Chain A
């Protein structure tokens, strides 16, 4: 029983860690977007307002991908272990 619970907890933590791999992408993407925006503003300083607005919206959209991963990780860490252990305990009780 303890082994099964340990496996459940370990798998949840592993899954949360793997989910957060998706959090790397938005950081790289936002970094590239801002670097390109710097270049664009350097060429045309008068367009700073428009570039900033567009980039803010773009960054917000890019960040959503990371948020999906974050939510999956949060659910796997805070909610899933309790639910899975409950299911395991109920199943063991039914078998007995």
Chain B
């Protein structure tokens, strides 16, 4: 239906462009009227006038569809005790009605046995509500179609009628387009606001159940405790006190990120130095794209690799020298993440090293320094701010990385700094808390948003720090 409507919209807009232009040409050549804009602009004018109101109204309908639907279907006449229902129950019933509404008006012959039994199990009131819902969907569909066809036709017709020698279409069209492109550039801000609002609102909801002090400073992480307690009976504060402790997640995240950095920083930096200062052009042309491949590989691949090969390998090696290594050790996840970050560090450092002017190198060579001495004593200090900035960006990336740790790190929280032990991370716990039943009235789901907010702020801080360091301490060469 919606594709059909979109197709019609495209056809209508093309037709109106044609009609508007035709009418303008007609006025110009047959009516001998001097037009103040090019004929094209009358075409655009008609299209914009016809479509914009319809699109806005359609968007409004889409936005409030849920509200209309509830008003129409969930009436207190059919469900007398509706005011006492929790959000979760309301959602369940709505879902059931949605399923029912698809089949309720079909002839019995077309139903499978499963569908028949669903129909038989539904109560009389539910059936009525499902029929209402089916009717609503029909009405909603038709009103959409009307908006998509009738309204643009009427408006387009009126706009065509208004074309005359006095109408100056070009400034109007340009004004509307200016608004559209201005709006587009504000969308980036809207997305940021959206991120912030959705995180903050749900995080506040979460902090209604769990004391923020407990969240940020307690060391026990056991969210399933909130899951066993039935949400409708309310939560006992004592149950949740030690269930959502952020500290072990933070240490786990930092542990894995540290391992990753220990791999990525030396390898990335040394590769960048070698490729920028030592390698011949041919070696550089081959090696650089190959290393860059590492950046293009999706993280789910690294996660698979870490879980499938790296973790068992590390476990075997550890056991052969008598070290107890967990199958989900922080080391495996950290190593894979480090490999992923190598190209990130190396390409950022490469840019910074290249920005150091040749005269500094020449000066150092002239004093008799070897290449490595020049690099260590002249180039690296000169590029230090940029390199530190790139390290911080890499750390922020490691902290926000999800798939590798979801697949290779442990799900169980463990307050440890030993990379051979299992550890869990913030991102892993966000994913685990949202897989399965998503209930917006249970702290087990809501904790994802509190964790997300913390993660968002941490990475934001790191990025701001990186930019400030680069801006403040960068040596400027002119």
User: Are A and B part of the same complex?
Assistant: no
